[in-house]
Structure 1
């Protein structure tokens, strides 16, 4: 299995975090989108989504568990 890569544009670092979020205007309460994030960009991605009032959860990436 290939290691996940950070979802931040232009970043190719290994992801160590999962940023789970949803847009409540278009996603049902049980739907979650997942972005991968490196240590340097986890805060940026979380803040980007939170600024739009999207529910956001950040969890540590654990050996391939991305759901």
Structure 2
């Protein structure tokens, strides 16, 4: 099964991964990963960045 985009109701194949954490509740070594398709990678990144979460976007899926 191919990993799918994390955007609600999107069923497209993921092509990027977005690494983030909420510094108010996560220790510095705890990171979360969302997967994103080409269409939603910007939306998901901006959603997290708007909340002042440390966030980075990488092309491809995590190893």
TM-score by length of structure 2 reads 0.94
Distance in 2 of aligned mates of 1:60 and 1:27: 24
Match status 1:53 vs 2:52:
yes
Where structure 2 has 5 or more consecutive residues not aligned to the other structure, the ranges are: none
Stretches of 4+ aligned residues off by more than 6 angstroms: none
TM-score by length of structure 1 reads 0.89
Give the Å deviation of 1:61: 1.7
SS at match of 2:52: coil
Q: Number of aligned residue pairs: give it.
A: 63
Partner of 2:35: 36
